């Protein structure tokens, strides 16, 4: 029988999500990769255990996570049933819908038909009565935002979700749907964008919209698919994501384009007593604008290493200036 560590809340930082009553850990565990049926279940289980023991209370999923799609939710549901059910009220469990899941005109995007079917499927896969946060995973170019917002609002009223979020929406789209949520009085509290030292698009308008609407944010891909780690500082390992020709998100060309910057940033990290990955996570949390960082992991030690980032969240003005100079190369 799994028993959670008694000191699990001693060292984690918890940040309030916008102006809501909810707090998220500064680090959350994302299940985009390494929790599907192609992965070792016992390894996935150990990672969830260790994350919770370290104070990570938020586990982030989506209906299409796996592979195959749906399997990450099913496997998390197994872990929940085996080990974490006694701790359900200590957990924040989120899921999303919007990417392709089944054939035909209703298997993706933001229609009421798709979103309603999706949350019911997700709850069944995880064995839950409700999720804590449910996201529209991407904006739908063909469905009015009013329909998407009303479908998400209905989920809260039906007790299937406590809070609502969006992901991958632009600043303009976020402002537009936020206005609708306010009219509906929906507990819309958070945006999940990609954000890293190498991907700073949210600084160009989105963060202002989030602040104006008192919304939180949770950053995914904080390590730029591994480019902000020591994995590629001395070449591209054949077994790495960039070394595999089948990788959809990272390739040798991308790594080489940022190699000089990564090596320079690594020197800054060393002087701070951090790894490059730790500094990359700390940098995202540096000014309090981001509520939580979604970390991914393929083994327990990576979760432990990421948590070390919280030991040094402060940057001197000279460090920030040096980082900016490096990133502008």
pLDDT in tens, 139-155: 999 999 999 999 999 99
pLDDT in tens, 276-302: 999 999 999 999 999 999 999 999 999
What's the gap between Cα 119 and its chain centre? 18
| Model pLDDT, residue 238 | 60
pLDDT in tens, 266-279: 999 999 999 999 99
Q: Could you give the CA distance from residue 323 to residue 197 in angstroms, rounded to a whole number?
A: 9
Residue 220: strand, helix, or coil: strand
The overall average pLDDT reported for the chain is: 95
pLDDT in tens, 16-40: 999 999 999 999 999 999 999 999 9
pLDDT tier at 158, thresholds 50, 70, 90: very high
The mean pLDDT value for 251-264 works out to 89
Element (H, E) at 280: helix 276-284
Q: Is 164:133 a contact under the CB 8 Å cutoff?
A: yes
Task: From the options 3.40.190.170, 1.10.1740.10, 3.20.20.100, 3.40.50.150, give the CATH code of 14-226+276-311.
Answer: 3.20.20.100
What is the DSSP-derived secondary structure letter of residue 203? G
Query: Which one is predicted more confidently, 248 or 108?
Result: 108
| Model pLDDT, residue 159 | 98
Q: Could you give the CA distance from residue 15 to residue 192 in angstroms, rounded to a whole number?
A: 15
pLDDT tier at 222, thresholds 50, 70, 90: very high
Which two structure tokens, joined as six digits, stand for 42?
A: 């016992």
| Model pLDDT, residue 231 | 86
pLDDT tier at 173, thresholds 50, 70, 90: very high
Q: Is 27:293 a contact under the CB 8 Å cutoff?
A: yes
pLDDT tier at 249, thresholds 50, 70, 90: low
Strands (E), the chain: 14-16, 23-25, 27-30, 58-60, 92-97, 131-136, 161-167, 188-192, 216-219, 292-295
Q: Could you give the CA distance from residue 216 to residue 20 in angstroms, rounded to a whole number?
A: 9
| Model pLDDT, residue 256 | 87
| Model pLDDT, residue 255 | 86
Q: Could you give the CA distance from residue 143 to residue 131 in angstroms, rounded to a whole number?
A: 24
Q: Is 26:17 a contact under the CB 8 Å cutoff?
A: no
Q: Could you give the CA distance from residue 76 to residue 127 in angstroms, rounded to a whole number?
A: 9
Residue 58: strand, helix, or coil: strand
What sign results for the dihedral spanned by CA atoms 153, 114, 206, 294?
positive
pLDDT tier at 254, thresholds 50, 70, 90: confident
pLDDT tier at 245, thresholds 50, 70, 90: low
| Model pLDDT, residue 329 | 87
The mean pLDDT value for 304-328 works out to 98
Q: Distances from the Cα of 25 to the Cαs of 59, 99, 207, 218, 222, in angstroms?
A: 10, 26, 20, 10, 15
Q: Is 138:99 a contact under the CB 8 Å cutoff?
A: yes
* The pLDDT of residue 60 is above 60: yes
Q: Could you give the CA distance from residue 302 to residue 119 in angstroms, rounded to a whole number?
A: 30
Element (H, E) at 177: helix 171-184
Listed by start position, the domains of the chain span 14-226+276-311
* The pLDDT of residue 91 is above 60: yes
| Model pLDDT, residue 48 | 98
Paired sense of beta strands 92-97 and 14-16, if any:
unpaired
- Residue in this structure with the two tokens 């064995």, named with its chain if needed: 127
């Amino acid at each position: 029988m799994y028993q959670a560590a008694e000191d699990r809340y001693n060292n984690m930082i918890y940040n309030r999500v916008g102006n809501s009553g909810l707090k998220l850990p500064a680090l959350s565990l994302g299940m985009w990769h390494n929790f599907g049926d192609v992965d070792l279940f016992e390894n996935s289980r150990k990672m969830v255990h260790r994350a919770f023991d370290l104070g990570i209370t938020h586990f982030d999923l989506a209906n299409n996570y796996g592979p195959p799609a749906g399997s990450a939710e099913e496997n998390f549901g197994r872990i929940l049933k085996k080990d974490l059910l006694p701790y359900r009220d200590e957990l924040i469990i989120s899921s999303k819908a919007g990417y392709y899941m089944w054939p035909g005109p209703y298997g993706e995007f933001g229609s009421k038909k798709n979103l309603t079917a999706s949350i019911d499927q997700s709850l069944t896969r995880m064995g839950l009565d409700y999720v804590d946060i449910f996201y529209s995973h991407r904006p739908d170019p063909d469905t009015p935002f009013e329909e998407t917002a009303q479908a998400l609002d209905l989920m809260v009223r039906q007790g299937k979700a406590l809070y609502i979020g969006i992901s991958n929406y632009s600043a303009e789209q976020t402002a537009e749907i936020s206005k609708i949520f306010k009219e509906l009085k929906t507990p819309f509290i958070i945006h999940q964008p990609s954000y890293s030292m190498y991907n700073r698009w949210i600084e160009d308008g989105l963060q202002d919209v989030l602040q104006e609407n008192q919304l939180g944010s949770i950053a995914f891909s904080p390590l730029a698919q591994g480019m902000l780690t020591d994995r590629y500082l001395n070449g591209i390992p054949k077994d790495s994501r960039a070394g595999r020709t089948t990788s959809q998100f990272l390739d040798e060309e991308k790594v080489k384009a940022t190699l000089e910057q990564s090596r320079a940033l690594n020197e800054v990290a060393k002087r701070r007593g951090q790894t490059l990955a730790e500094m990359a996570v700390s940098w995202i949390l540096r000014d309090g604008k981001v509520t939580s960082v979604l970390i991914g992991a393929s083994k327990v030690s990576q979760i432990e290493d990421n948590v070390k980032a919280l030991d040094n969240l402060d940057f001197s003005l000279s460090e920030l200036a040096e980082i900016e100079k490096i990133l502008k190369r």
